[in-house]
Every structure is written in C-alpha cells, then in structure tokens.
Amino acid sequence: MAEFIRSRILSFKYAFQGWGYAMRTQRNVWIHSTIATIVFFVGLWLHLPARDWAVIILTGAMVFAAEFMNTAIEAVVDLATSEHHPLAKIGKDVGAAAVLVAAMAAVLVGLLILGPPLWLKLLPLISNL
C-alpha cells in the first residue's frame, strides 16, 4: 500500500514538472494562461452561475490539454529525428491544429457565455459616453 501511495505522489510530481516545463518553454501556454486569468476575473465580475463556470473550466482545460499534448508530440518528434522529415512535419502540424481547434472553440464558448452578460453590464457605461 505504501508503494502505491508513493507512486501516486510521484505521478503528481511528474505531472507538475510537465506543467512547469510547458510554462517555462512554451509562449502559447503563457498566452492561454493570461487569457484564462482574464476570463476568470470577468466571470467573477459577472457573477456567472455554476453551470457557466463548469463549461468555461472544461473549455479551458481542453485548451491546456491540447497545448500540453502538442508540446509532448513536438518533444518526441525532436527526440526521434533531427532531420526535416515529412512525417515529423505532419505530426507537429496536426498537433498544432489540435491546439488551434481547441482555442477557437474556447473563444466561441467565451463569447456565448460571457458576451451577453458583459454587454448588459457595459451598455450603461457606453451609453453615458
């Protein structure tokens, strides 16, 4: 039982090391983190209901998961070959496409969830100008 617990703790340690690596080395992770932080504070300001928070959290997690998988694909491809191979390019390009799809979906979800209440909150401020 002690070995099982130790291995689970190590699993979390390795996962956080991977997260740290991505944060240190991947510019897009910083961009996603910045946008996620802004969305978080806007959501707090708008007093979003729990269901909206659930959708936003799942959507953000999807973007980060895609970005982390893309980073892993790139690292494995770079390990496997240093030459410019067409299959290596396909692997990297498709990984990047997965991030793009997730990010575009997140933008649409953000507009659908945050857009209407944000518009209602900003309308009085805009009409006073």
User: Which DSSP string do the residues of 1-23 spell out, in sequence order?
Assistant: -HHHHHHHHHHHHHHHHHHHHHH
Cα angle: 50, vertex 55, 57; to 5 degrees:
90
Candidates 40, 43, 20; CA nearest to 30 is 20
Topology of domain 27-127 in CATH is Helix Hairpins (1.10.287)
Give me 29's structure tokens: 């992770």
* Predicted pLDDT at 52: 98
Candidates 4, 68, 82, 3; CA nearest to 33 is 68
Active site residues: 67
Cα 115 to the center of its chain, rounded Å: 20
pLDDT for residue 129 is more than 80: no
pLDDT digits (tens, 9 = 90+) for 48-60: 999 999 999 999 9
Which pTM was predicted? 0.88
Domain ranges of the chain: 27-127
The mean pLDDT of the chain is: 95
Q: What is the DSSP letter of 83?
A: S
Q: How far apart are CA 109 and CA 105, in angstroms?
A: 6
